[in-house]
Structure 1
Amino acid sequence: MKEIVYIAVGELRYWLRSHLALGGSLVFLMLISITSILTTGHINAENNARVQQQKNAEDTFLTQPDRHPHRMVHYGHYVFRSPPPLATFDPGLDAITGQSIFLEGHRQNTAMFAESGASADLGGLSWLSPALVYQIFAPLIIILLGHGAIAREREAALLTPILSLGVSGYSLVLGKALALLIFIIIIMIPLMVTCTIAVFKGADPIAAGLLFCVYLLYLIVWGIMTLCVSSILHKRSTVLAVLSSCWFIFNLALPSLAVNFVTYTTPLSGKIETDLTLLADLHKVGDGHNINDPAFGQLREQLLKKYNAQSLADLPVNFRGIVAIEGERKLTNVLNSYAARRMAGETQQSQQLANYGWLTPTLAITFISRSIAGTDLANYHRFQKEAEALRFSFVQKLNHAHAEQLSYSDDIQRNKDEASGLKARINASNWKSLGSYHFKKSILSDRVKSAFYSFNILLTWFFEMCIMLFLCARGINS
């Protein structure tokens, strides 16, 4: 054990004397610090803005005067998606997906207003986040430091004298690995600070700890890979060239190719095609604004028979409101089926992309990071589902008020004159049935479950690299 520590200390001293290694490390720490500060500030500002916008939207809706209930159905309401606390480290899909949805009757609107102001923070590097810095640039720094760990000894003809002193290949490799592990832990300090701040902002401590551990495991995989190549090849220049090629393939080429391939092999239906099919299906359920639509003929007869009424005016409920209730229910069923189909297609694409983590650990850590941070596709779909549930709830409450609080005769004469229009209004206290909305972070167990598959992939990479390093150490002995 003493010789392993001695080798590690010697390697660390060498790195401290290396201006290239020290300079590269300082550049990385500066980059991660700047991106952490800017991303944290940006996400916090976004969160405060969206919370305030949500409050303004609710205040605007609730302070509306007495109106016809169907006017309020079309007046609509906004809901906003607040970023989770760990988005300060990994914003995930937050920057490219909509942050708000306009809720109104008879429609399921898509999320709107994806961020555009973030580009002013870093200019051409506006896509950078602390997570991406760790995923892409941290492995490059590890390669820069560790590529000559063993090849340097062989190139300087020192490997044989070291082994002749009784130092085994295993001790040599473990000493170098310990030095690299110490360096990895040092560059993980900014992540630790970011996660700690996120915990004080409301993040789950367990989630923050898991995020730290998986990134530590990811960087260890790169560290072991670096030592393996350094053990196999004889020249540092060759080692650096091979590892740089691996970095380019794993971090840039393969993820890009995987996205393009998944998009090609699992295409989603286009908007025009989907809208045309949707309109045809919606036409079949009837027009909720037209009580004479044949789709509601059976409903009319059932109500007249149930209440033994001769005409719609004799019913104890407003038939126009009843049609609105039934029309919205049928329409929502159709809209939900299309929304579920679209989400299933997006989820299938995401799952297929996750499979490419077997080819590159970068994709594996990307999916794990977004899942644990709560900024992945599943979290975005949850926002859409919650928004739709709220939309259907408040529209149907207004439709029920339409049916129960407004008479049929007053309703059909509301456009006759001003007095008739005033009689066809209901009390503004009905708007309070909408309730408040706040997008909460997802349950930790759901996030861990979502990350489990990619975590197994990353763990497999770790064990494979450990086996390879063991074989390389045995090769040094022989």
Structure 2
Amino acid sequence: MHSLFKTKIGCVAKDELRYWSRSKLAISVLIIGIILTLSSVIVTAFKMHELNNQRQTMQNTAEQTFMEQPDRHPHRMVHYGHYAFRTPSPLSVLDPGVDAYTGNSIFLEGHRQNSATFAEQKHSTGLTKLGSLSPAFIVQVIAPLLLILIGYSSMSRESESQTLSFLFAQGTSIFTLLIGKGLALFFVVCLIVFPLTISALFAVFQGESPIIAASFLLAYILYLSVWVLFILFFSTVFTKKNESFTALTFAWILFCIVMPRVASTTASVSVPSAGKLETDFAVIAELRKLGDGHNANDPAFAKLKTSLLQKYNVDSVKELPINFRGVVASASEAKLSSVLNQFAEQRMQQELQQTQIARLFGWLSPKVAIRSLSMLSAGTSIETHHRFMRETEDLRFRFVQSLNKAHIEKLSYIDDINRNKGKEGNQKARINATNWQMIQGFNFTIDDATTRLSRSTIAFMQLLFWIVILSMLIRIMGRRAI
């Protein structure tokens, strides 16, 4: 580093840093940026650590409460239900991603698929719609503005003060100036990213992949480097400081505020999805065709009844060696789950298509690119949420069918149909509480490093695309400035 500052490029960078050190605005902005990033990292880290402990405790409590239930009718336990919680990923301390909007726990019960609950943004005010003050939001939205406030006059200051000719006369080329001033801005980028680096190291100690942590940091360095190039480009194009500041502010509003909203709106219009009420009516209409699983005499199960009577060579369901009501409940749950899964997959495919369309806007906005890349790397993207929904649905189905199996094998049909005939009938229609031990610990893990890296490839290409395009534009404008 010391030898670098002895070169012409290093001298330019050193001179730029010296200029900023004498500017109250630059120093104030830099301090604010570092404090904002550091404080958001610390606050979010404590928050996610607390959430991790809470969810793990609640998961254990939910399992213990379920298994400690007394002797009951097995179908009562189907409706008693069970909870599944998703613990945050190590890098979610830097980017909570969609978790703040989708929820982190699901109530599992028979005959229905519940959506995730306890989403942080659902309990927030309208002021948080732009984004929460997470480290990712600070670096994605606030940091570029801070860089603009520090470096907007990097080249235009030289033009306005008419020092460019003097510098050229001393043998300093325009590209030496650009690279030196860019190097000074990159030094500021490193200061802003430093708190993220410390937090990423802690994430590695908590089990995160070192490759993922490194790619996460690289993504933010590339993103802020794009804004360094924006600053150099506009301060080269415009010869007055106020003009370059106005152009950079407009670019920040366009790329950080407007384009992400345009992306999400375009995605929702391009892939329209039915509203909750419309979907609920469609689901109900399909489920009515399946028959009532609580009514063993429903005509929808006549064929099932006939096949069982033939299989066991008996004349009535009372003579079956198994509980026909439990068989109906199990068959009904299987058909019902198939229909629910069909609608759920349709909804998730629509959400994924919308997300993929929105991500294409990364070619038009570096903010969209880094937002996608950040969530994909941190394991807080929509793909991870969808896998959580699928795994919890698989847990729900196995949980319900295990109880239905106990209903079939461990409760007689006669006792079952007489369960409402007095206290004695009610007691006979219960099975031993040891049957509730089928619940096992639910432990959701994020996708492996290879999967997340492969999903992030396009977003990385988008950031590199911006760097290449801006570098070419700066080179062209640099030649014109000579």
Which of the five TM-score ranges fits, normalised by the shorter chain? over 0.9
Equivalent position to 2:96, from 91, 94, 98: 91
CA contact 1:228–1:472 (8 Å) conserved in 2? yes
Does the C-alpha gap of structure 1 residues 116 and 138 become closer, same or farther in structure 2, counting only changes over 3 Å?
closer
1:115 aligns with 2:116: no
Identify the residue that residue 476 of structure 1 maps to in structure 2.
Answer: 481
Structure 1 residue identity aligned to 2:444: F
State the partner residue of 1:421: 426
Indicate the residue corresponding to 1:235 in structure 2: 240
Q: Secondary structure at the match of 2:385?
A: helix
Q: Deviations over 1:382-429 (max 9, x none)?
A: 211111100000101111111111121221122222222222222222
Partner SS state of residue 27, structure 2 = helix
- How far does residue 44 in structure 1 lie from its aligned partner after superposition? 1.2
Counterpart of 2:50 in structure 1 is: 45
2:377 alignment counterpart: 372
- 2:215 maps to 1:201: no
Determine helix, strand or coil for the equivalent of 1:107.
coil
Matched-pair contact (CA < 8 Å) for 1:231–1:472:
yes
1:123 CA displacement: 9.3
* 1:142 aligned residue: 147
Task: Name 1:336's counterpart in structure 2.
Answer: 341
Relative distance call for 1:453 and 1:126 in structure 2 (3 A) is: closer
Could you say what secondary structure the match of 2:92 adopts? helix
| Equivalent-residue separation in structure 1 for 2:44 and 2:315 (angstroms) | 67
Residue 156 of structure 1 aligns with an amino acid whose one-letter code is S
Cα distance in 1 for partners of 2:13, 2:176 equals: 10
Structure 1 length as normaliser, TM-score? 0.95
1: distance between equivalents of 2:458 and 2:128?
35
Task: Provide the secondary structure at the position in 2 that maps to 1:95.
Answer: helix
- Whether the aligned pair in 2 keeps the contact of 1:84 and 1:375 (CA below 8 Å) is yes
Q: 1:14: how far off?
A: 1.2
Unaligned runs of 5+ in 2: none
Counterpart Cα distance in 1 of 2:21 and 2:124:
36
Give the length in aligned residue pairs. 476
1:183 aligns with 2:222: no
Q: CA-to-partner distance for each residue in 1:81-130, whole Å, 9 max, x for gaps?
A: 2111111111112222222111111111111222269869x999982111
C-alpha distance in 2 between matches for 1:374 and 1:195? 13
Asked if 1:221 is matched to 2:226, the reply is yes
The CA deviation at 1:221 is 0.5
Query: For residues 95 and 362 of structure 1, what CA distance do their matches in structure 2 show?
Result: 19
- Could you say which residue in structure 2 is the equivalent of 1:61? 66
| Counterpart code for 1:171 | T
Percent identity for Structure 1 against Structure 2: 44
Contact between 1:119 and 1:126, CA under 8 Å: does it hold in 2? no
Alpha-carbon deviation of 1:473? 2.6
The equivalent residue for 1:172 is: 177
Distance 1:113 1:133 in 2: 24
Map of 1:406 onto structure 2 = 411
Q: Check 1:124–1:316 CA distance in 2 against 1; reply closer, same or farther (3 A cut).
A: closer
* 1:307 aligned residue: 312
Structure 1 residue 356: Cα displacement: 1.4
Q: RMSD between aligned alpha carbons?
A: 1.9
1:435 aligns with 2:440: yes
Contact 1:105 1:328 survives alignment (8 Å) = yes
Q: Offset of 1:73 from its aligned partner?
A: 0.7
Distance 1:37 1:331 in 2: 46
User: What residue ranges of structure 1 are gaps of 5+ in the alignment?
Assistant: none
Tell me the SS of whatever aligns to 1:364. Answer: helix
